[in-house]
Amino acid sequence: MTTTTRRRVGIAGALVGAASAGVAAAALAKRYAVGRIRLRPDTEANEPFGELRGRERTHVTTDGVALHLELDGPEERRSSGGGSESNDANEPRSGRDHEHERRSSGGERESNDANEPRSGRDHEHERRSSGGGSESNDANEPRSGRDDEHDAPLTIVFCHGYCLSLESWHYQRRELRENHRMVLWDQRSHGRSQRAGDSSIDRLGEDLAEVIERFVPGPCVLVGHSMGGMTIMALADRHPQLFGDKIRGVALIATSAGKLAELTLGMPALVSKAVHKVAPSTVSLLGRRGALVDRTRSVGSDIAFLITRYMGFGDSKNISPTVVDFAESMIRATPTEVVADFYPALMNHDKLSALHVLDPVPTAIMVGDRDWLTPPDHSRAIAAALPKAHFTEVPDTSHLIQLERPGVVNDALRDLIKRVELQ
């Protein structure tokens, strides 16, 4: 071997060694960071995430998509014997991991075979269907018309965000269920609702209109987080007549009326511009290879934990690792194809012109001052269009505000409900 060859081999070996050392150092730093976070006192370690249950219902939309809903509140729980309706009375309710593993976007909440294995998210994703129906808890339950067994003076309807599920309202549900009737629903293709071809925000607004028509016998308050707030705006755009009579109040939490494609995500302007330029094609590519990507997402990882913590909760030093795990499990349960399907709709969302419809009803607007996904400027724009609304910017708080600052959100909702009841 010549001197030149030996030198090249030596340089190549050094580069490979340096690269390997860099990868090892990054992995060690990642484990160290996650380890430090998990070793902190965790006040929410025993919180029963995913275990609050109401009466389960299914609604099949006009375009044939089975939506999963839960009705909660004092009367709802009394009518179901204080617990949850289930097709299998012996089915265990063993916590949030079990709940997320049971999710099916084919609308199949339970199996007809009691011996069917519950083998985790990969098994559940294989069962997902974009064209199937949904089993009902009651074979005689109507698929259309009203479901107003209880004449509640006010119903609170919760609309969750992108890649989340109705479980994301855990703290609000726990707080309000003793005194208020609630409707919580999984938006199409999310949680336990069926996969759908139409992933537009306008279609979400139509879904909400149908949910209200069937499950809300009297007046209601709508609460929307992130994409859920956009769903409410789409409803206002398409069904303005509902606001003021049927819909008596609205809470818009960490959401946007448009221009999400201009987000910086906390990055320098040039970097953000480059990211937005490649994001649509990248997301589309991931969607086409969704099944392959989902296999790598099926088990939680330190990287997923850190990404969820950063994007959902910012750089908060006090957020519970259990809460981060809970949020990450909801995100992970959302198929990559669904993430890709809804991304263009979110980026093209523009309902600023529809906000005036909300003006006659009490409205609460909330956002964290460190929200990088729907930054405060977006909520300020909504507040400017609704000068009578109560606007709250919560300090040291990021996007998943209802999980990060549940007390503040619950106080705002109680205040909104009180204003509605005094009308």
Helix (H) or strand (E) run with residue 329 in it:
helix 321-332
3-state secondary structure of 184: strand
Q: Are 254 and 399 in contact (CB under 8 A)?
A: yes
Q: What confidence score (pLDDT) does residue 121 get? A: 35
Q: Which residues on neighbouring strands pair with residue 69, listed in sequence order? A: 57, 185
3-state secondary structure of 13: helix
Structure tokens at 202: 């306008």
Please give the span between the terminal C-alpha atoms of the chain, in angstroms, as a whole number: 91
Nearest to 56 by CA among 20, 12, 13, 102: 102
The rounded Cα 153 to chain-centroid distance in angstroms is: 27
Q: What confidence score (pLDDT) does residue 210 get? A: 98
CATH number at residue 204: 3.40.50.1820
119 assigned to some structural domain: yes
Region of 120 (left: φ > 0; alpha: ψ -120 to 50; beta: rest) is left
Q: Which residues contact 15 (CB under 8 A, 6 or more apart)?
A: none
361 assigned to some structural domain: yes
Q: What confidence score (pLDDT) does residue 259 get? A: 84
28 assigned to some structural domain: no
3-state secondary structure of 68: strand
Q: What confidence score (pLDDT) does residue 94 get? A: 36
Structure tokens at 78: 């009394």
Question: How many separate domains does the chain show?
Answer: 1
Enter the pTM of the model.
0.75
Q: How far apart are CA 107 and CA 119, in angstroms?
A: 18
Q: Which residues contact 141 (CB under 8 A, 6 or more apart)?
A: 57, 58, 147
- Can you list the positions of beta strands (E) in 207-329? 220-225, 247-253
Nearest to 188 by CA among 373, 336, 334, 327: 334
3-state secondary structure of 57: strand
25 assigned to some structural domain: no
407 assigned to some structural domain: yes
380 assigned to some structural domain: yes
Q: Are 412 and 369 in contact (CB under 8 A)?
A: no
Q: What confidence score (pLDDT) does residue 379 get? A: 97
Q: Which residues on neighbouring strands pair with residue 156, listed in sequence order? A: 182, 221
- ∠ CA 219-210-340, nearest 5°, is 125
Structure tokens at 377: 């400027």
Q: What confidence score (pLDDT) does residue 288 get? A: 57
297 assigned to some structural domain: no
- Can you list the positions of beta strands (E) in 217-261? 220-225, 247-253
Structure tokens at 174: 């726990």
Low-confidence ranges of the chain (pLDDT < 70): 1-40, 77, 79-151, 261-300
Nearest to 232 by CA among 107, 11, 389: 389
142 assigned to some structural domain: yes
Q: What confidence score (pLDDT) does residue 117 get? A: 34
Range of the domain at 171: 55-260+346-421
